[in-house]
Amino acid sequence: MSATPARKKINLRTPDVMSRVQAQVESHYRSETVERIRAQGGVMRQGSTVIRLAKEFGFCYGVERAIDLAYAARKVFPDSRISLLGEIIHNPDVNAQITAMGIRQLAAHPDDKDIATLTPEDVVLIPAFGAEVSTVEAVKARGCQIVDTTCGDVMSVWKRVRQNAAESVTSVIHGKAIHEETRATASRALGPDRQGQYLIVLDLAETDAVCEAIRQGCDKAVFLQHFQNAISPGFDPDIHLQRIGVANQTTMLRSETEEIQNRIRTAITERDGGSSANFRYFDTICGATQDRQDALFQLLDESLDLLLVVGGYNSSNTSHLVEIGEKTIPTWFVRNADCLVSGEEIRHFDLHRGEEILSAGWLPEKPSLTVGITAGASCPNNLIEDTIRRILELRGEQIDGEFRNAERELKA
Ligand code: SF4
């Protein structure tokens, strides 16, 4: 099929559309209760139970914008088929709501068969994490109307890795190789001529393997086998570890990212006789991720009996909040209030086992209990409110009559 010219960009965010979008988004995700608790310093006492919210939690600016654009697309193209590349954000409740609005979900990296179903009449949404270059090009070639909700902070990382490619610097990306954002970033690290190189490291153990290869070389076959799903085509550790620029998925744990860049800088400096000319680093942890991590550290300074982290299990920034919490106090990673099965049992995601499990004895029967709550950047406030109400219910507390009735239904 011959390439179809790309469609003109349409401004979806007109005042009329946005005022209607705003009203609908608020009706789906807003919580007056949460706003009220925030307004009173983030603390609520109900009988013998104290709820303490982190100062920063929940929807970030990038997620709000992505959701606004998805809702706006539905309004501006009421009769068009709208397809989404993967998930708009990593929250199953929000994604279910998007599906309920008649937006169909394709794979984040659709295969040729799915791409072939697209026509110039289709509208295609790119999620907040962005999409791989090859996917965007394939969608454009079908002549679809593209609505790009990629967060500006993600695009800042792309700018850095493109610059690395232009200067023959290998991008070492701290991130999860299967995460949509990291895949999108890696595809930009190839540069326009696809000659650029990248290597994705997940953690400090992988970083140490890279540092050892930088210092004293490596068994190439073993190295390539280990990083087989995390390197650019043609990656050669003997050649492509000479000049390195460290970048990161925007939602990683800052302390880990800093340690990774420190270790790589040290390895290069030692190899190059004290010079760090072959190393570069740009801090690309996004402000929202940082704010939520900082606010959690602050919350953990309070006297808490337990911490609930609310959010999608595949959300990277939410997982890092859990990692921070569980170093200090009993921490439970829950998708929504339904996970609080009873005062005895809780359904929660175990990061170490990588699965949702049922545990017992999560809610201490203390005469006075303080529960800390935080949530990742993809978690709406209505889910926080539901969680608060469920805790109070399980504690046998009278719920303040002013609380909004948090019956959640998918609303068209
Ligand atoms: S978490 Fe950060 S990078 Fe991701 S959408 Fe929010 S602001 Fe953007």
State the DSSP string of 340-362: --SSSEEEEEETTTTEEEEEE--
- Cβ contacts of 51 within 8 Å, gap of 6 or more: 37, 43, 44, 45, 370, 371, 373, 388, 391, 392
**377 C-beta closer than 6 A to ligand 1:** yes
Per-residue pLDDT at 286: 93
CA of 154 to the centre of ligand 1 (A): 7
- Cβ contacts of 272 within 8 Å, gap of 6 or more: 278
Mean pLDDT of 269-281: 97
Per-residue pLDDT at 85: 97
Per-residue pLDDT at 398: 73
Confidence of residue 400 (pLDDT cuts 50, 70, 90): low
- Alpha-carbon gap, residue 88 to 107, rounded angstroms: 11
Residue 97 has pLDDT above 80, yes or no: yes
Q: Whose CA is nearest to atom 4 of ligand 1?
A: 62
- Alpha-carbon gap, residue 171 to 185, rounded angstroms: 10
**163 C-beta closer than 6 A to ligand 1:** no
**184 C-beta closer than 6 A to ligand 1:** no
Across the chain, mean pLDDT equals 93
- Alpha-carbon gap, residue 47 to 399, rounded angstroms: 9
Confidence of residue 401 (pLDDT cuts 50, 70, 90): low
Range of lowest pLDDT (86-95, 201-210, 281-290, 355-364):
281-290
3-state secondary structure 54-102: CCCCCCCHHHHHHHHHHHHHHHHCCCCCEEEECCCCCCHHHHHHHHHCC
In this structure, the number of other CB atoms found within 10 A of the CB of residue 253 comes to 21
Confidence of residue 284 (pLDDT cuts 50, 70, 90): confident
Mean pLDDT of 232-259: 95
Per-residue pLDDT at 66: 96
Whole-prediction pTM:
0.90
pLDDT tens for residues 209-218?
Answer: 999 999 999 9
Confidence of residue 411 (pLDDT cuts 50, 70, 90): low
Parallel/antiparallel/unpaired status of strands 279-281 and 82-85: unpaired
Per-residue pLDDT at 1: 47
Confidence of residue 409 (pLDDT cuts 50, 70, 90): very low
Residues pairing with 173 in the sheet: 200, 247
Residue type, 194: R
Among 67, 286, 294, 316, residue to substitute to test ligand 1 (most atoms within 8 Å of Cβ): 286
Residue 403 has pLDDT above 70, yes or no: no
Find how far residue 368's CA is from the centre of its chain.
35
DSSP helix/strand/coil, 163: helix
Residue with tokens 């290597």: 199
pLDDT tens for residues 115-165?
Answer: 999 999 999 999 999 999 999 999 999 999 999 999 999 999 999 999 999
CA of 246 to the centre of ligand 1 (A): 19
Among 90, 91, 126, 289, residue to substitute to test ligand 1 (most atoms within 8 Å of Cβ): 289
CATH class of 153-281: alpha beta
Mean pLDDT of 271-298: 94
Find how far residue 150's CA is from the centre of its chain.
12
Residue 326 has pLDDT above 70, yes or no: yes
Atom of ligand 1 nearest to the CA of 152: 8
Parallel/antiparallel/unpaired status of strands 123-126 and 82-85: parallel
Name the helix (H) or strand (E) containing 383: helix 381-394
* The CATH number, out of the four listed (3.30.360.10, 3.40.50.300, 3.40.50.720, 3.40.1010.20), of the domain defined by the range 30-60+287-394: 3.40.1010.20
**267 C-beta closer than 6 A to ligand 1:** no
Name the helix (H) or strand (E) containing 374: strand 369-375
CA of 98 to the centre of ligand 1 (A): 19
Q: Enumerate the H helices of 190-330 as residue ranges.
A: 204-216, 220-226, 237-240, 254-271, 287-300, 316-326
Residue type, 189: A
- Whether 30-60+287-394 and 153-281 share one fold: the answer is yes
Confidence of residue 3 (pLDDT cuts 50, 70, 90): low
The answer to whether the Cα torsion of 131, 137, 138, 142 is positive or negative is: positive
Residue with tokens 């890092």: 320
- Please name which of 280, 180, 177 lies closest in space to residue 232, comparing C-alpha atoms: 177
- Alpha-carbon gap, residue 307 to 325, rounded angstroms: 7
CATH class of 61-150: alpha beta
Residue 325 has pLDDT above 70, yes or no: yes
- Alpha-carbon gap, residue 364 to 28, rounded angstroms: 32
| Total residues belonging to the chain | 412
Atom of ligand 1 nearest to the CA of 317: 1
Q: Whose CA is nearest to atom 6 of ligand 1?
A: 62
Confidence of residue 111 (pLDDT cuts 50, 70, 90): very high
Among 59, 63, 291, residue to substitute to test ligand 1 (most atoms within 8 Å of Cβ): 63
Per-residue pLDDT at 5: 60
Confidence of residue 184 (pLDDT cuts 50, 70, 90): very high
What Å distances lie between residue 366 and 51, 93, 109, 325, CA to CA?
14, 32, 49, 21
**171 C-beta closer than 6 A to ligand 1:** no
Delimit the domains of the chain by residue range: 30-60+287-394, 61-150, 153-281
Q: Would you state the structure tokens that stand for residue 368, as one six-digit string?
A: 């006075």
- Alpha-carbon gap, residue 155 to 133, rounded angstroms: 12
- Alpha-carbon gap, residue 242 to 88, rounded angstroms: 37
Mean pLDDT of 382-391: 97
Which residues does the annotation mark as catalytic? 181
Q: Would you state the structure tokens that stand for residue 209, as one six-digit string?
A: 């393997």
